[in-house]
């Protein structure tokens, strides 16, 4: 009997859409209604709080994923993507409650997934190439895969920021908590 490799999946557009559709509700369930001090928590210096991350995700919906997919489909490698502003969220989010940001992220994601489905991408579309200003040649398939992993990376970040607030309070259990000790499993 063949052993199934459970560590990798080949790209699937349907599975990608399913995963992307789950992110707004996941972050909403994790964050909405938490005390403000937890929403504003960070890991020191210029690290991001959960609040900052939601602003970053909103900016990505507006300027990164679908706009870059369209650049690939319309211009191929002939036009590099616009650079992504990793600090735009501080303007996007200023003085707004988290609940507003969560609602906006959910609405933008819904619309972007509609737009993605409307593109009716074929396998050969997914092989089309674009040009990233730093990484060089990338494919549409790689862009959409990255969208999924990027969402999950920020769910990790938000969870880690929250958990580390109790770094001192957990006492001896620190040794068992990879999220606090910094070890990856």
**Site residues (vs a copy of itself, CB under 8 A):** 6-11, 15, 18-19, 22, 25-26, 28-31, 33-35, 37-38, 40-44, 47, 49, 132, 135-139, 141-143, 145-146, 148-150, 152-153, 155-157, 159-160, 162-173, 175-180, 182, 184-185
| Nearest by Cα to 68 from 13, 142, 155 | 142
If the CB atoms of residues 122 and 167 are measured against a copy of itself, the closer one turns out to be 167
If the CB atoms of residues 33 and 78 are measured against a copy of itself, the closer one turns out to be 33
If the CB atoms of residues 37 and 124 are measured against a copy of itself, the closer one turns out to be 37
Minimum distance, C-beta of residue 32 to a copy of itself, in the bound complex (Å): 8
Minimum distance, C-beta of residue 12 to a copy of itself, in the bound complex (Å): 8
Minimum distance, C-beta of residue 118 to a copy of itself, in the bound complex (Å): 22
If the CB atoms of residues 107 and 152 are measured against a copy of itself, the closer one turns out to be 152
Minimum distance, C-beta of residue 25 to a copy of itself, in the bound complex (Å): 4
């Amino acid at each position: 009997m063949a052993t199934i490799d459970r560590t990798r999946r080949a790209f699937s557009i349907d599975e990608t859409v399913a995963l992307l559709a789950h992110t707004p509700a996941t972050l909403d369930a994790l964050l909405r209604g938490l005390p403000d001090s937890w929403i504003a928590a960070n890991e020191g210096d210029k690290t991001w709080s959960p609040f900052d991350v939601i602003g970053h995700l909103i900016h990505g919906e507006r300027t990164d994923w679908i706009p870059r997919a369209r650049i690939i489909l319309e211009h191929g490698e002939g036009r590099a993507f616009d650079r992504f502003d990793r600090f735009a969220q501080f303007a996007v989010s200023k003085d707004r409650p988290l609940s507003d940001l969560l609602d906006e992220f959910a609405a933008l994601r819904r619309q972007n997934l509609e737009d993605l489905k409307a593109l009716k991408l074929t396998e050969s579309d997914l092989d089309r190439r674009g040009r990233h200003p730093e990484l060089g040649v990338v494919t549409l398939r790689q862009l959409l895969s990255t969208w999924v992993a990027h969402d999950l990376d920020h769910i990790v970040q938000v969870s880690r920021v929250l958990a580390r607030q109790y770094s001192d309070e957990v006492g001896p259990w620190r040794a068992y908590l990879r999220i606090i000790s910094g070890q990856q499993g």
